Amino acid sequence: MTFECKEGCSECCSPIPFEYTLIKNNFHKRNKNHVINEIIQYDDTRYILFTKSFKCIFLDENNKCLIYNDRPKICKEFGVVIRNQCPYLAINGQIRSEAKNKHYLRDWKRQIQRMKDEQEERNNFNLPEMFWLGQLEQIGIKTQIREV
């Protein structure tokens, strides 16, 4: 069974835990318009990079993934596994009814809002992006902040 995302949709492309190596190998491809405003170490090997837009740093202006071939497992599984349901398309690729769409979208937006609220409680989001880029430099990720 194949699942094809709706082109230009990025509802699911919010901050997620990225493997350190994925960030390190692909950071230069990020969309610099998505300003990083917090980084959290999720576990021993993964980090969440929050942006002011609350979108993934690897989405371009047309909501296309800049690291599609290297995207994380959760992105590859989205819409295909029961726990990661797309609000717009069913697992079989069929468009959901408007009622189902509203149900899934409401649940998805609640999860996103919960993440935003947690970020606000930590109160780190007001630090400038340069601070967060410096944090990435400290763990060995080249961010080009030292360009001359």
pLDDT digits (tens, 9 = 90+) for 21-74: 999 999 999 999 988 988 988 899 999 898 888 889 999 999 999 999 998 888
The model's pLDDT over 88-128, given as tens digits with 9 standing for 90+, comes to 677 676 777 777 777 777 777 787 788 778 877 776 666 78
The pLDDT assigned to 125 comes to 61
- Render pLDDT for 2-34 as a digit per residue (tens, 0 to 9): 566 777 788 778 888 899 999 999 999 999 998
Q: What confidence score (pLDDT) does residue 147 get?
A: 45
The count of other CB atoms within 10 Å of the CB of residue 5 is: 19
pLDDT at 62: 92
